[in-house]
Structure 1
């Protein structure tokens, strides 16, 4: 068993190729065994977002504060999320998530096992479409 106190968690900008500008990550739990459970708290400025990505294992997102959107590949429009909402992401499900344009988003991401595979950035048009806005 391992205990992690808030004061032990370091907050940093994520590495390149994973998120737009305006995102902070705080790794709370690293895996205790190879490909094990991990948990990260992400904070997004308005309009900040992840790149498209997939996970080898299941992932759960839990919204702590603010408002955001989660969009799966092939959806005409994403799903808005807010405080107290959970999102269960299936293995291999290509998606992105981020803050709405006029609010921050803070969520926990708990990933069961395996790797996260990062893909291309979400374009401004994809972002507007995810929010249900017309491009242009």
Structure 2
């Protein structure tokens, strides 16, 4: 009777493990994502922490607010998350105008598309670039 219990536990453990692997590897359709513009939370979350012990400029603070509200859910600045590292995006789009066009027209980068931010101004794109560039 004791050996039957061990087999049941082993099979259940294996089943949970396989279910976890299946759920981990589900590939979601890009069209199912919804654009979110949540306000900047009072406490940073999702592993997004300001890179500085020093004060940010007003331009960089505005860029940080844009990043937190629109980008932090999918992107980290220095390493890949759901989307590419934003420093890599800055290298691909080296000027404010190119970066702005990329964000409002959603050109593919690395085979994926970012949301279209049609209401993003050139000034907002510049603020976001300054915040991202400050990580260097």
Task: Give the TM interval when normalised to the shorter protein.
Answer: under 0.3
For the pair shown, the structure with the greater C-alpha radius of gyration is 2
Instruction: Name which structure has the greater RCO, CA cutoff 8 Å, separation 6+.
Output: 1
Question: TM (normalized to structure 1)?
Answer: 0.26
More strand by share: 1
More helix by share: 2
Question: TM (normalized to structure 2)?
Answer: 0.26
